[in-house]
Amino acid sequence: MTTGAANNNAASNIIWIGTYTPDGGGRAKGVGAVREHQDGSLEWLGTAAEAQSPSFVAVHPKLPMVYAAAEQRKKVQAYRRRGSFSLEPHGEPQPAGEATCHVAVDPDGRFVTAACWGDGQVILYELDADGGMMARLPAAPSVDPHASLFPGGPRQSRAHASLMLRDGRIMTTDLGHDTLRIWNYEPGTGLVADHEVALPCGSGPRHLVEHPTGNVFIVSEYSVEVFVVRPEAGTYELVFRGPATAGGSQEGDSAAEICLGPQGNFAYAGVRGSNIISVLEIAAEGTELIPVKDFDSGGDWPRHHLVRGNWLHVAHERSDNIATFGLDPITGLPGPELHNLHTPSPTALVGAG
């Protein structure tokens, strides 16, 4: 293997870590970096870029660029990768909304979206040829992002995540309004509303993932459930609702993340409070999620988790660690904990390549 190929392989084994720093009640110094080894173990490399509460990060699909939400500062910052795991700021931070908690990048590298939990804004930033962020483009005024689909008193809109759909549209979650919003991207304008899907009142949709069938799986923070929406003639419809865990949720629980297994026949949902990861079988051609087993996540407050190959890495915000498990490719179930890495206040795990 040539030295260049070796360096590229090493770079692809990097995982960026979103964190909370002291301004967000955490103990980190900025965006962290770890290396994943062939046995699944993780090696702490250090702080890739000092930043204030970069609670979620996203990676450009083609360029050596990383984007981070500065949650407490109400900004989004672009970084350029230098070497295997160092990041340096690229341009000035762009203004966002209250409690900017999630960022995502278009698969074609045209734009970045930011979801703001504090005020419900979903913001789009177009990217230049170098991956730099240009001026923000708020959601088009044709839709009021604070108008709840449910009757009753006022409810605060709380956007939480964006998902780039394979058909080119964008789906976002709104915990406050129990709503999924589907948008189209119009160059120079930003996000233009397509349609909405109402989930049960009080469920609080948080994170989501697209299955190879085109169906989208959602985990709800408040009700600790999973939902499946299916595209029908261009419009998504709710086709499934079920519990996110095999043993039921406990008082004080809140669901956090959902992701797919390597073969696409299992999903994994994280629940804070009970501190578990639930294994769910994907059934009925991707229209049902059936809980199989809950297992201890390996720490306190599993904020986010990541499947890479047959490894499952779970980031624990409060116990300052990432626990790693091997996944059985047939049953989807994890084996005993393989590795436990100390790292301060991890909130997101995102593969570098």
Average pLDDT of the residues in 250-274: 97
Average pLDDT of the residues in 146-172: 85
Q: Give dist(CA 258, CA 278) in Å, integer.
A: 9
Per-residue model confidence (pLDDT) at position 5: 37
**What is the pTM assigned to this prediction?**
0.94
Query: Is there a contact between 104 and 162 (Cβ–Cβ < 8 Å)?
Result: yes
What residue spans define the domains of the chain? Answer: 51-198
**pLDDT (tens digit, 9 = 90+) per residue, 108-150?**
999 999 999 999 999 999 999 999 999 787 655 434 555 666 6
Q: Give dist(CA 124, CA 115) in Å, integer.
A: 9
Q: Within a 10 A sphere around the Cβ of 346, how many other Cβ atoms? A: 29
**pLDDT (tens digit, 9 = 90+) per residue, 9-38?**
556 799 999 999 999 999 999 999 999 999
Per-residue model confidence (pLDDT) at position 192: 92
CA-based nearest residue to 156, from 165, 146, 166: 146
Per-residue model confidence (pLDDT) at position 1: 33
Per-residue model confidence (pLDDT) at position 158: 94
Q: What is the DSSP string of 231-288?
A: EETTEEEEEEEEESSSS---TT-EEEEEEE-TTSSEEEEEEETTTEEEEEEEEGGGTE
Q: Give dist(CA 136, CA 128) in Å, integer.
A: 13
Query: Taking 70 as the threshold, does the pLDDT of residue 203 lie above it?
Result: yes
**pLDDT (tens digit, 9 = 90+) per residue, 315-344?**
999 999 999 999 999 999 999 999 999 999
How many degrees, rounded to 5, is the angle at CA 286 between CA 40 and CA 216?
Answer: 80
Per-residue model confidence (pLDDT) at position 138: 66
Per-residue model confidence (pLDDT) at position 46: 97
Per-residue model confidence (pLDDT) at position 3: 37
Per-residue model confidence (pLDDT) at position 353: 81
Q: What is the mean pLDDT of the chain?
A: 93
Query: Taking 60 as the threshold, does the pLDDT of residue 8 lie above it?
Result: no
Q: Give dist(CA 287, CA 148) in Å, integer.
A: 27
Q: Give dist(CA 347, CA 31) in Å, integer.
A: 10
Q: Name the CATH code of domain 51-198 (choices 2.60.40.10, 2.130.10.10, 3.30.365.10, 1.10.357.10).
A: 2.130.10.10
**pLDDT (tens digit, 9 = 90+) per residue, 48-72?**
999 999 999 999 999 999 999 999 9
Per-residue model confidence (pLDDT) at position 231: 97
Q: Which secondary-structure segment (H or E) carries 9?
A: helix 3-12
Q: Give dist(CA 190, CA 185) in Å, integer.
A: 6
